[in-house]
C-alpha cells in the first residue's frame, strides 16, 4: 500500500510536471490511464490522434500516458488520479470505477461499439523450435509429458484468462459432464511447471530459464516475444478454441467533465474504431473488428473460435465469485 501510494505520487509529480510545461504548448491535454504493456501502442496512437484532432478542430492536443498494472491504475483513479480516459485490459477494472465512486456510468459497456472494446486478443501458445511435443490445442496440454508455463490465475489477469480458456474448452469437449470438465482442468493445472506472479515473469521463466514446453499468454504478447527473440526459433500456435480477451475503454466522465475534456475524451476513444487506428492496432498484433483491416491481416490472425465470459461463466462477477474467490473452483481444482 505504501509503495503504491509512493508510485502514485511519483506518477502525479510526473503528470504535474508535464502538464505545467506543456500548458503553453497545446490547446488541450488529456490523460490516458492504461495497462502495463501498452506504452508503445498508445505512444503511436497518440501521434495519430493528435494529427486527426488538429485536422478536425484546428486545435493541438497533448496526450499524457500513465501505465501500470490495470487493477492498480483503477485504484489510483478511485483514490483521486484525474485521468480522462481509461484503456484497460480487464473489464472488471473498469467495473470497479463504477462500483466505487460512480466515476464511469453503469452502462459504460454500451457507450461504444463491441462492448466498448475497440480491439481484442486471445490466449495463444508459444512453443519451442519445431514444436517437438506437437502442441495444437488445449487437450495436448493435459498430456503427461507436457509441461506448461503461465502466470498464477490468483495474482494475474493473464493467468485468469488462460484458466478460463482451458475451462471453456473443457465445457465444449465434455458437455454437461461437470466431473470430466473438472478432471480435465485439474490435470491441466497439474502440468504447470512454474507459477509466476505476472505475465512478464512467466515469459522470463519460459524464454530465459528454458522451463516448460509451452508458454500461454496473449496472442499479441506471443507475437512480440517471437519478434524479440528471433534466434530461439519459437513457434506460435493458436488453439482452435480460446477465450475472448477484451481490452475495454471508457471515458472517466466525472473527471473528464471536471477537466473540461468530455468531448475530447469521447473523440479520443471513438477514433480508436477508425480504419487507420484499427490498422495501427493490428500492427501491434491485436485483433480488430474493422472488416477491411481484418482482410489485410488475415494471415497474421488464424481463425479461432472465441468463447466469451458470458458463455463460460455467465458474467465477470460470477466468474470472480465462482472460480477465483478463496475456496472457489480454482482452489478446489488445485487442492491435493
Partner 1 sequence: MSLAITSAISLNPSKRVLPGFALSLGISLLFISLILLLPITGLLLQTAGMSWNEYWSVISDPRVVASYKVTLWAAAWASAFNGVVGLLLAWVLVRYEFPGKRIVDALMDLPFALPTAVAGITLSALFAENGWYGSILAEAGIKVAFTPLGIIVAMSFTSLPFVVRTVQPVLEDLAVEDEEAAISMGGSDLTVFRRVIFPSLWPALLTGIALSFTRSLGEFGAVIFIAGNMPYVSEITSLMIFIRLQEFDYAAASAIASVVLLASLILLFLINIWQAFYLRRIHGR
Is residue 58 a contact point for partner 1 (CB under 8 A)? no
Scan residues 199-218 and list those touching partner 1 (CB under 8 A): 201, 204-205, 208-211
Contact 113, 165 (CB under 8 A): no
- The CB-of-201 to partner 1 minimum distance in angstroms stands at 7
Q: What residue has cell string 467533465?
A: 257
Can you tell me which of 134, 197, 233, 315 binds partner 1, judged by CB under 8 A?
A: 197
| φ, ψ (nearest 5 deg) of residue 202 | -65, -40
User: Which of 250, 320, 313 minimizes the C-alpha distance to 109?
Assistant: 250
Scan residues 66-85 and list those touching partner 1 (CB under 8 A): 71
Is residue 315 a contact point for partner 1 (CB under 8 A)? no
Is residue 325 a contact point for partner 1 (CB under 8 A)? yes
Q: Choose the binding region for partner 1 from 81-89, 105-113, 295-303, 326-334 (rule: CB under 8 A).
A: 326-334
Helix (H) or strand (E) holding 294: helix 291-296
Can you tell me which of 98, 154, 186, 254 binds partner 1, judged by CB under 8 A?
A: 154
Is residue 245 a contact point for partner 1 (CB under 8 A)? no
296-310 burial, b if ≥16 CB within 10 A, otherwise e? ebeeebeebebbebe
Can you tell me which of 32, 90, 117, 152 binds partner 1, judged by CB under 8 A?
A: 152
The mark string for 267-306 relative to partner 1 (x by CB under 8 A, - otherwise) is: ----------------------------------------
Contact 17, 9 (CB under 8 A): no
Residue 298 or 332: which CB sits closer to partner 1?
332
Give the DSSP letter of residue 90. Answer: -
Give CA–CA dist 46/33, Å, rounded. 13
Give CA–CA dist 80/17, Å, rounded. 17
Name the residues that contact partner 1, by CB under 8 A.
Answer: 71, 152, 154-155, 192-197, 201, 204-205, 208-211, 324-327, 331, 334-336
Amino acid at each position: 500500500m505504501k509503495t503504491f501510494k509512493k508510485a502514485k505520487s511519483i506518477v502525479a509529480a510526473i503528470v504535474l510536471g508535464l502538464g505545467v510545461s506543456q500548458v503553453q504548448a497545446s490547446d488541450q491535454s488529456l490523460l490516458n490511464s492504461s495497462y502495463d504493456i501498452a506504452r508503445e501502442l498508445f505512444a503511436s496512437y497518440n501521434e495519430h490522434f493528435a494529427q486527426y484532432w488538429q485536422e478536425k478542430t484546428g486545435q493541438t492536443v497533448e496526450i499524457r500516458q500513465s501505465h501500470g498494472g490495470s487493477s492498480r491504475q483503477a485504484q489510483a483513479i478511485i483514490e483521486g488520479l484525474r485521468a480522462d480516459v481509461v484503456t484497460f485490459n480487464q473489464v472488471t477494472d473498469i467495473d470497479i470505477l463504477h462500483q466505487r465512486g460512480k466515476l464511469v456510468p453503469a452502462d459504460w459497456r454500451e457507450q461504444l461499439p463491441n462492448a466498448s472494446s475497440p480491439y481484442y486478443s486471445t490466449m495463444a501458445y508459444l512453443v519451442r523450435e519445431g514444436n517437438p511435443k506437437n502442441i495444437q490445442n488445449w487437450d495436448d496440454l493435459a498430456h503427461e509429458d507436457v509441461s506448461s508455463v503461465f502466470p498464477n490465475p490468483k495474482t494475474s489477469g493473464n493467468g485468469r484468462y488462460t484458466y478460463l480458456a482451458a475451462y471453456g474448452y473443457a465445457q465444449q469437449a465434455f458437455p454437461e459432464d461437470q466431473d470430466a470438465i473438472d478432471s480435465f482442468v485439474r490435470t491441466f493445472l497439474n502440468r504447470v511447471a512454474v507459477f509466476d506472479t505476472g505475465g512478464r515473469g512467466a515469459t522470463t521463466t519460459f524464454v530465459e530459464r528454458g522451463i516448460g514446453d509451452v508458454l500461454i499468454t496473449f496472442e499479441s504478447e506471443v507475437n512480440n516475444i517471437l519478434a524479440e527473440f528471433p534466434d530461439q526459433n519459437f513457434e506460435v500456435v493458436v488453439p482452435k478454441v480460446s477465450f475472448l480477451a477484451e481490452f475495454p475503454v471508457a471515458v472517466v466522465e466525472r473527471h473528464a467533465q471536471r477537466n473540461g475534456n468530455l468531448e475530447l475524451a469521447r473523440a479520443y476513444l471513438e477514433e480508436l474504431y477508425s480504419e487507420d487506428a484499427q490498422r495501427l492496432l493490428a500492427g501491434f498484433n491485436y485483433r480488430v473488428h474493422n472488416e477491411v483491416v481484418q482482410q489485410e491481416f488475415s494471415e497474421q490472425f488464424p481463425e479461432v473460435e472465441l468463447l466469451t465470459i458470458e458463455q463460460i461463466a455467465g458474467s465477470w462477477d460470477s466468474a470472480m465469485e465462482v472460480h477465483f474467490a478463496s475456496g472457489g473452483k480454482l482452489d478446489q481444482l488445485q487442492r491435493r
